[in-house]
């Protein structure tokens, strides 16, 4: 086996006059990243929670479709929902869905709440789905909906806030 570097990060310092200019640059980069993942003729889905990460992915994907920058061959979101008021993000999810009108699938708690992993051990595992019933319920619903491309906000918190598992 041989290890060889074929690419090297060459960061450059950005200097803008205002926070608005930094925000605009971030939105441009973020939109391009989402757009690149929407290059498909198959239906697209998003694992949507009530959080900022997956909501941002969902909103940008919908804005790209509305502006004609990407073709929408079907778009839906998939959300695990729980009856426990401390875990219930349905109202936040409904706000995003109400703005864009896409198909929203809610996968009801089937007894796995409280046993979910807060942080997966590796990228092979889905976040918050350490229990096989949760994975089966969510990914079974996605598969039955015909979705072939699935986006999420996975690992965003670890990248921004820092996580040994993400940055190692």
CATH number at residue 108: 3.40.50.620
- Tell which residue, 72, 34, 75, has the closest CA to residue 53: 34
Tokens of 37: 């993942």
Provide the pLDDT for residue 153. Answer: 84
The mean pLDDT values, 10 residues at a time, for the chain of 168 residues are: 90 94 96 94 91 93 94 89 85 93 85 48 49 75 91 71 54
Cα→Cα distances 141→53, 100, 145, 154, Å = 21, 21, 6, 19
Provide the pLDDT for residue 80. Answer: 86
With respect to residue 96, please indicate whether it lies within any of the assigned structural domains.
Answer: yes
Provide the residue range defining the domain that includes 122: 42-157
Distance from C-alpha of 118 to C-alpha of 151, rounded to nearest angstrom: 19
Provide the pLDDT for residue 157. Answer: 58
With respect to residue 127, please indicate whether it lies within any of the assigned structural domains.
Answer: yes
With respect to residue 67, please indicate whether it lies within any of the assigned structural domains.
Answer: yes
Provide the pLDDT for residue 129. Answer: 52
With respect to residue 123, please indicate whether it lies within any of the assigned structural domains.
Answer: yes
With respect to residue 56, please indicate whether it lies within any of the assigned structural domains.
Answer: yes
With respect to residue 168, please indicate whether it lies within any of the assigned structural domains.
Answer: no
Provide the pLDDT for residue 77. Answer: 94
With respect to residue 37, please indicate whether it lies within any of the assigned structural domains.
Answer: no
Provide the pLDDT for residue 124. Answer: 46
- State the total domains in the chain: 1
With respect to residue 29, please indicate whether it lies within any of the assigned structural domains.
Answer: no
């Amino acid at each position: 086996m041989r290890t060889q570097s074929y690419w090297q990060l060459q960061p450059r310092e950005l200097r803008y006059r205002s926070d608005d200019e930094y925000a605009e640059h971030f939105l441009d980069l973020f939109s391009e990243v989402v757009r690149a993942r929407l290059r498909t003729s198959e239906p697209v889905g998003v694992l949507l929670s009530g959080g900022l990460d997956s909501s941002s992915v969902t909103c940008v994907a919908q804005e790209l479709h509305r502006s004609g920058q990407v073709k929408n061959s079907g778009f839906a979101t998939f959300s695990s929902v729980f009856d426990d008021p401390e875990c219930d993000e349905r109202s936040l999810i409904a706000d995003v869905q109400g703005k864009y009108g896409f198909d929203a699938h809610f996968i009801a708690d089937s007894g796995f709440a409280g046993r979910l992993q807060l942080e997966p051990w590796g990228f092979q595992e889905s976040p918050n789905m350490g229990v096989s019933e949760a994975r089966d319920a969510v990914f079974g619903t996605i598969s039955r909906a015909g979705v072939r491309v699935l986006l999420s906000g996975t690992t965003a918190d670890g990248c921004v806030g820092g996580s040994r598992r993400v940055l190692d």
